[in-house]
Every structure is written in structure tokens, then in C-alpha cells.
């Protein structure tokens, strides 16, 4: 199924994990994909997974852009390059992020600033730069927030605050730009099998605690999250905007009490 034939899709943080799975999913569904990240080699590895039978769209149907999304000038240049090559932007997936651990008494000011800059400010910069082009195409945005942006988490003060900002920015953009024909949604994953997750301190303990509370009894995979993202970005979700969709195996269905 080619739901994104002749569509241009930007995926930030496309070099690994959820971003890589999402970029590959869009490519398999016919999109011209823009891979955005900070490391050229990881973006090239993602591109190697793209299908090779899509010359009916473009002879050169993807673009890699090295960009630090926390730098507004780099973001503006990235968007300029995308429009120069493909003439349009139809879907924006804001996936780039970082996990910063620590209680507020343990975090440095730089830890806090870095988390806000990447997770929240970066999302704002990319949305702002891309919005005029999305208005032109009646396109849409899917932000990758977190279940931590809906409810709190232990020992993740900066990350929780940043992702809560992403979740509420999503709602506000949906309200402001719905009249322009632009839909804006977010996915809110819980623990997902990625390198970023495995790098978190005490990740094995956190995973076991999660599985004790998860009705489906497993972690999400990047492909699970990519499937939700492409659904929200597709015409199948044409009446859905302003939603923060949990992709968490049912964890958020519980009120937190242990099973009796």
C-alpha cells in the first residue's frame, strides 16, 4: 500500500530507533523521505534499508541532512534544502530527542537546558520553520512525545518537563492551525526497545517494573511506534487532530494500583 505516494516526509532523529523505523516505513509506503540527524553514517545506514523499486517517484527519492535541531539557524537551512529539492513538505515527524536522568536536586543547569533545547525547543523550531509549507500542502505533523509527557516519572525531571511541553504544544498547534487545514498529533510511547532506552540507568529494573504493569506483557518495538505514526500521518486519520496517542501496551489504562 502506497499511502504516501508523491508525498515529502521529514523525519528527525532518523539515524536509529523509532526514527529509523519510521523513515523506512514511510519509504516503503511510497514517500520521498528526508532523513535528519546529527551523524551522517547513521543516516546512511537508515537509507540502505529503503526499497529500491521506487523510481516512479523520483530517481533520487530521499535526502539526508545533518542538522542539530536545537540550533534554529540549522533548522531553517534544513527546511530550505528540503523545499529546494522536493518543492513541498507534506508530513513532519519530530522524533529527535534525548533522555536526561536525575532529580531536580541532581541536575545541573546545563543538563536541564540541554534536555529542553533538544526535546522541546527543537520541536518548536522545526514546526515553526515547516508550518508555512505544511499550510500550502494541507499537510500534518506527528510529534514523538512520551507517556512521560502525560504523567510523571521518577528521576526524570528535565525529560518529563520537556515532553509535557511537546504534548501541550501539539494540542495548541492543532487548535491554531486546524483552520489552515494542518493536522497536528503526537504519539506517546512508554518504554521502547531502543539504544536510548537501554542507556538509561537501571534500565533492566525499570523494564521489569514496566512489564509487571503492562497488560500486553512486552516492550514496544520501534516498528510498533512507526505504525502508529504513519497511521496518524495518513488520510486514514483525516478527522484526528490534537491527539496524544499512548502506544504503551495498556499501561496508561491502569490507575497505578497493583493487580489484586
pLDDT score, position 55: 45
Inside any domain, residue 230: yes
Task: Let me know if residue 137 belongs to a domain.
Answer: yes
Query: How many residues are present in the chain?
Result: 260
* CATH classification of the domain holding 172: 3.40.50.720
- Asked whether residue 111 is domain-assigned, the answer is yes
pLDDT tens digits, 53-85: 654 444 468 999 999 999 999 999 999 999 999
pTM score? 0.92
> Is 159 in the active site?
yes
Domain count, the chain: 1
According to the model, what pLDDT value does residue 208 have? 72
Residue 248: per-residue pLDDT:
93
User: CA–CA separation, 87 vs 77, rounded Å?
Assistant: 14
Residue 68 lies in a domain: yes
Task: Give residue 193's pLDDT.
Answer: 86
* Residue whose cell numbers read 501496551: 249
SS (H, E, C) 174-190: HHHHHHHCCEEEEEEEC
pLDDT at 194 (0 to 100): 73
What are the residue ranges in the chain where pLDDT is below 70? 53-60, 195-206, 258-260
Please state, in angstroms and as integers, the Cα–Cα distance from residue 134 to each residue in 51, 114, 131, following that order. Answer: 26, 28, 5
Q: Where are the alpha helices (DSSP H) in the chain?
A: 17-28, 40-47, 72-86, 109-115, 122-137, 157-177, 195-198, 203-213, 222-233
Is residue 62 within 8 Å of 133, Cβ to Cβ? no
Range of the domain at 24: 8-242
Has residue 260 been placed in a domain? no
Please report whether residue 49 resides in a domain: yes
259 occurs within a structural domain? no
Question: Does some domain include residue 257?
Answer: no
Q: What is the pLDDT of residue 138?
A: 98
Q: Which of 169, 173, 167, 165 is nearest to 139 (CA)?
A: 173
- For residue 209, what pLDDT is reported? 74
Distance of alpha carbon 82 from alpha carbon 190, whole angstroms: 31
pLDDT of residue 135: 98
Q: Which of 26, 86, 125, 159 is catalytic?
A: 159
Amino acid at each position: 500500500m502506497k499511502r504516501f505516494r508523491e508525498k515529502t516526509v521529514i523525519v528527525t532523529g532518523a539515524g536509529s530507533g523509532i526514527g529509523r523505523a519510521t523513515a523506512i516505513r514511510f519509504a516503503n509506503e511510497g514517500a520521498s523521505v528526508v532523513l535528519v540527524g546529527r551523524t551522517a553514517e547513521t543516516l546512511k545506514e537508515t537509507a540502505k534499508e529503503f526499497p529500491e523499486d521506487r523510481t516512479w517517484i523520483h530517481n533520487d527519492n530521499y535526502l539526508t541532512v545533518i542538522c542539530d535541531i536545537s540550533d534554529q539557524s540549522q533548522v531553517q537551512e534544513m527546511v530550505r534544502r528540503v523545499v529546494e529539492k522536493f518543492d513541498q513538505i507534506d508530513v513532519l515527524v519530530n522524533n529527535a530527542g534525548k533522555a536526561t536522568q536525575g532529580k531536580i536536586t541532581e541536575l545541573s543547569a546545563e543538563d536541564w537546558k540541554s534536555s529542553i533545547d533538544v526535546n522541546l525547543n527543537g520541536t518548536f523550531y522545526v514546526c515553526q520553520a515547516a508550518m508555512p509549507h505544511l499550510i500550502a500542502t494541507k499537510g500534518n505533523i506527528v510529534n514523538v512525545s512520551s507517556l512521560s509527557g502525560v504523567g510523571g516519572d521518577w528521576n526524570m525531571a528535565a525529560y518529563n518537563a520537556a515532553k509535557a511541553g511537546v504534548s501541550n504544544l501539539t494540542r495548541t498547534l492543532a487548535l491554531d492551525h486546524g483552520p489552515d487545514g494542518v493536522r497536528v498529533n503526537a504519539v506517546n510511547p512508554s518504554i521502547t526497545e531502543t539504544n536510548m532506552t537501554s542507556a538509561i540507568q537501571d534500565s533492566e529494573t525499570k523494564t521489569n517494573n514496566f512489564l509487571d504493569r503492562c497488560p500486553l506483557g512486552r516492550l514496544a518495538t520501534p516498528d510498533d511506534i512507526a505504525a502508529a505514526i504513519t497511521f496518524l500521518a495518513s488520510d486514514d486519520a483525516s478527522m484526528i487532530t490534537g491527539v496524544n496517542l499512548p502506544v504503551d501496551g495498556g499501561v496508561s489504562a491502569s490507575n497505578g494500583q497493583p493487580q489484586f
